[in-house]
A and B are shown apart, each in its own frame.
Chain A
């Protein structure tokens, strides 16, 4: 009996850990935004990625500043450390850990846009990256 409960628990944990995919992240953000997944817009996602915002010392900054203009390429942090590509087609690990995804949206939206991103924006963003072949 105890063994069965343990197995069930294990199955639950592994199912939970494996549950996140780019598609399931889109579903989650669409739900949070109160829209259908089909209402997420890759076009708006790309605009979000490329729009330049006022940065430090009079320079501008965008997601592309660190992640490069091509999200299939590796980027670089400010201190020169490699950032693995954002596009799931180039990096299957992307958007497979909901907590990590939330952590980086929180940090990077606050830095680049000086505000948090909305659920709709996050969904658009992943929708764009996920359709890059």
Chain B
């Protein structure tokens, strides 16, 4: 009798724990997700962070499909009007990382969402031109983007104050004057 009770107790505990584990935000981490809806996948890659983040935020690979990243990395001599050329080894290293974690890699919830609104053959160069981005920012007035304090839509951190940490949820947004 005692054993039966104990068995039920153990089962109940394990069941509750696993339910909890799956319902907690950390459940997404197995796929590289930060967890919440507006968290970029937590990723680390030395060259990606070092090189891409020397001029702008190291945009998450989950925001564009593989075909886009190939175009971006194939045209670094003319990277949105600036020469961002790299040595071939670093360039290849970063591209491998971007492709492995791209929106269509199936490795993050963020990427899945971006792909839901993307034509299968599309390969946009700008994250700001993806339907996902446009939809997400449809409440932001046009005039806000043009403010000197913002500079351009490429400057995530102007409004997303914790962008450097990969945190993009609305509570952390403050549009500067």
Question: Which residues of chain A have a CB within 8 Å of any CB of chain B?
Answer: 56, 77-81, 103, 106-108, 110-111
B151→A107 contact, CB < 8 A: no
Question: Which residues of chain B have a CB within 8 Å of any CB of chain A?
Answer: 53-57, 77, 81-87, 150-152, 154-155, 157-158
B84→A77 contact, CB < 8 A: no
Within 8 Å by CB of B82, from A80, A81, A106, A107, lies A107
**What's the A-B contact tally at a CB cutoff of 8 Å?**
39
Within 8 Å by CB of A108, from B83, B86, B155, lies B83
A79→B154 contact, CB < 8 A: yes
* In the bound complex, CA of A56 to CA of B80 (Å): 12
B29 to chain A, nearest CB (A): 28
| Residue on A nearest B156 in the bound complex, by CB | A79
Further contacts, 13 of them, CB under 8 A, given A79-B154, A103-B87: A78-B82, A78-B151, A79-B55, A79-B151, A79-B152, A80-B151, A80-B158, A81-B155, A106-B85, A107-B82, A110-B77, A110-B83, A111-B82
B56→A107 contact, CB < 8 A: no
Given A77-B55, A77-B56, A81-B57, CB of A106 within 8 Å of CB of B155: no
